[in-house]
């Protein structure tokens, strides 16, 4: 077994200096498509293979999201290296074992009771989407890691300047940020911390399509371009579309939802750049109750059908899907699902938003991606900061799914055509 880890065809050169970094904390942040998570996965794999003893913990806010992010990224890289014969991957629980030395990679979600305390003698942690982890959860995790040399890796986009990560690790941004995003190592206020900033321009393997998409944000949304293209700290967002919402925790979720009227499932299609999103919507006491069921990229319709069955969606449950893909709707209908198209037409987006805003919104704490959308979905602003009453077309996949259900179930008369329902005002 020989893998040349210095080979630039394997490693993005921008991250090579971090491979042997010995600091307690390694923070990798910046824009999208800069290969932050890919390198973190590579480092975890290499430490697992070459160290006599290594026990990494994969950490995210929600355990359910680790399988399709960190766990899958590591598996993809192991396959690309041709090393699958040397590893064992199990999904229940999520665990990776390197056969030659018994080193393990273990998953922990901060929404689970035992979290990281139950892991004996960990040597490392990888926090994915670190900005979604609260300060108290971080403190509980980092202080629970005891033993020998421990290293904690964090990957994230700098969405909010007010985030605790900024004040805990970073100096004043005026001392390091450049408006064009072209800077790399950032001095931390902590002596035990290395911080690396990257953008897609530092990724030698970024596709032209991805680069073009990221640059297009410049003319669509200034704050989005600033955060996700240039990797600069974003400001507090103005013009949020949904403000009257709150969480209810997982311990209460099932009891509350069982006693509330089920309105339907909303489905928003995605594939390469956007996720396929499914949200279960309930209604009662002038309140919409939302529960994220699925939020995943790269799914074929066949895979989606299997996933929907696994999520407990039955042939009698009503599903309202984006009408932009009639072929996909027909395929899911043929697969036994009670699915029909959402109404679309002139001003239907604003009409749907207006209807949703008539309700209070309560969202389950496990609805990780939907919560992010609620925090970021906003109106376009003109150069003077005035709302244009047109939503920015970002952070809206799960929320679009909600809109389809609310529009079709509360505002529209129904009739059947060829087994699939069509709608008119």
Give the gyration radius of the chain's Cα atoms: 23
For residue 406, report the phi and psi dihedrals to the nearest 5 degrees.
-60, -45
Task: Give per-residue burial for 53-78: e unless 16+ CB within 10 Å, then b.
Answer: ebbbbbbbbbbebbbeebbebbbebb
Cα 302–305–308 angle (5° rounding)?
A: 150
CB-CB contact of 281 with 405 (8 Å)? yes
User: Rounded distance, CA 425 to CA 407, Å?
Assistant: 10
Provide the 8-state DSSP code for 240: B
Residue 309 pLDDT: 94
Residue 256 pLDDT: 77
Residue 134 pLDDT: 85
User: Rounded distance, CA 174 to CA 197, Å?
Assistant: 15
- Which of 9, 7, 5 shows the shortest CA–CA distance to 44? 5
Residue 417 pLDDT: 35
Please report the beta strands in 297-403, taking only residues with DSSP state E, as ranges in sequence order: 318-321, 338-341, 360-364, 379-381, 387-391
DSSP 393-421: SSS-HHHHHHHHHHHHHHS-EEEEETTEE
User: Rounded distance, CA 242 to CA 25, Å?
Assistant: 36
User: Rounded distance, CA 145 to CA 22, Å?
Assistant: 16
- For 134, the token pair is 């609260």
Residue 13 pLDDT: 82
**Strand ranges of the sheet holding 287-296, from the earlier edge strand across to the other edge:** 245-248, 360-364, 287-296, 276-284, 261-268, 318-321, 338-341
DSSP 28-58: EEESTTS-HHHHHHHHHHHHHHHSSS-EEEE
User: Rounded distance, CA 17 to CA 11, Å?
Assistant: 11
Residue 48 pLDDT: 96
User: Rounded distance, CA 302 to CA 300, Å?
Assistant: 5
Provide the 8-state DSSP code for 236: P
Beta-strand pair 193-198/25-30: parallel
Residue 38 pLDDT: 94
What count of other Cβ atoms lies within 10 Å of the Cβ of residue 186? Answer: 19
Residue 421 pLDDT: 42
Q: Helix (H, G, I), strand (E, B), or coil: what is residue 330? A: helix
User: Rounded distance, CA 403 to CA 374, Å?
Assistant: 13
Beta bridge partners of 381: 387
- Which of 237, 244, 242 shows the shortest CA–CA distance to 381? 237
User: Rounded distance, CA 403 to CA 397, Å?
Assistant: 10
| Whole-Å CA distances, 223 to 123, 215, 219, 372, 388 | 37, 13, 11, 16, 16
Q: Is the overall model pTM greater than 0.75, yes or no?
A: no
Residue 177, preceding bond cis, omega within 30 degrees? no
Q: What's the maximum distance between 2 C-alpha atoms anywhere in the chain?
A: 67
Residue 61 pLDDT: 86
Cα 355–286–415 angle (5° rounding)?
A: 55
Residue 34 pLDDT: 95
Distance linking the first and last C-alpha atoms of the chain? 65
- Give me the half-sphere count of Cα atoms (radius 13 Å) on the Cβ side of residue 66: 27
Residue 366 pLDDT: 82
Spell out the per-residue pLDDT of the chain, length 425, in tens: 556 655 545 678 889 899 989 999 999 999 999 999 999 999 999 999 999 999 999 999 888 889 989 999 999 999 988 999 999 999 999 999 999 999 999 999 887 655 666 678 899 999 999 988 888 889 989 988 877 789 999 999 998 787 899 999 999 999 999 999 999 999 999 999 999 999 999 998 899 999 999 999 888 777 788 999 999 998 656 788 998 898 876 566 777 778 789 999 999 999 988 899 999 999 988 999 999 999 999 899 999 999 999 999 999 999 999 999 999 999 999 999 999 999 887 788 999 999 999 999 999 888 888 988 998 898 887 777 677 888 988 889 999 999 999 999 887 544 433 344 443 32
CB-CB contact of 44 with 112 (8 Å)? no
């Amino acid at each position: 077994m020989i893998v040349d880890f210095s080979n630039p065809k394997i490693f993005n050169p921008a991250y090579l200096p971090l491979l042997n970094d010995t600091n307690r904390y390694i923070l990798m942040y910046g824009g999208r498509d800069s290969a932050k998570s890919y390198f973190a996965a590579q480092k975890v794999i290499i430490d697992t293979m070459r160290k006599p003893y290594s026990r990494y913990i994969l950490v995210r806010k929600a355990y359910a999201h680790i399988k399709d992010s960190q766990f899958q990224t590591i598996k993809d890289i192991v396959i690309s290296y041709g090393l699958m014969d040397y590893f064992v991957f199990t999904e229940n629980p999520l665990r990776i074992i390197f056969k030659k030395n018994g080193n393990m990679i273990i998953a922990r979600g901060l929404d689970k009771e035992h979290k990281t305390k139950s892991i004996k003698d960990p040597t490392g942690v990888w926090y994915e989407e670190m900005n979604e982890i609260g300060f108290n959860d971080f403190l509980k995790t980092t202080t629970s890691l005891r033993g020998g040399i421990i290293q904690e890796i964090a990957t994230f986009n700098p969405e909010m300047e007010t985030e605790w990560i900024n004040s805990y690790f970073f100096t004043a941004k005026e001392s390091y940020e450049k408006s064009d995003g072209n800077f790399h190592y950032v001095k931390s206020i902590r002596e035990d911390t290395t911080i690396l900033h990257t953008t897609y321009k530092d990724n030698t393997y970024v596709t032209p399509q991805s680069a073009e998409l990221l640059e297009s944000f410049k003319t669509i949304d200034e704050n989005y371009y600033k955060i996700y293209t240039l990797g600069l700290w974003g400001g507090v967002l103005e013009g949020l579309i949904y403000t009257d919402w709150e969480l209810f925790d997982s311990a209460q979720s099932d009891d509350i939802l069982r006693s509330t009227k089920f309105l339907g499932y909303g489905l928003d299609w995605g594939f390469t750049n956007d996720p396929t999103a499914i949200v279960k919507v309930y209604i009662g006491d002038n309140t919409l109750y939302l529960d994220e069921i699925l939020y995943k990229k790269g799914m074929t319709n066949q895979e989606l059908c299997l996933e929907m069955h696994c999520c407990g969606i039955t042939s009698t449950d009503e599903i309202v899907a984006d009408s932009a893909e009639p072929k996909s709707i027909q395929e899911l209908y043929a697969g036994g699902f009670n699915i029909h198209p959402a109404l679309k037409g002139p001003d239907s987006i604003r009409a749907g938003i207006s209807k949703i805003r008539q309700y209070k919104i309560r969202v389950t704490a496990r609805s990780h991606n939907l919560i992010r959308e609620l925090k970021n979905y906003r109106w376009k602003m003109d150069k003077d900061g005035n709302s244009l009453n047109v939503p920015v077309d970002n952070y809206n996949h799960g929320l679009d799914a909600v809109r389809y259900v609310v529009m079709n179930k509360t505002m529209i008369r129904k009739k059947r055509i060829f087994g699939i329902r069509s709608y008119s005002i």
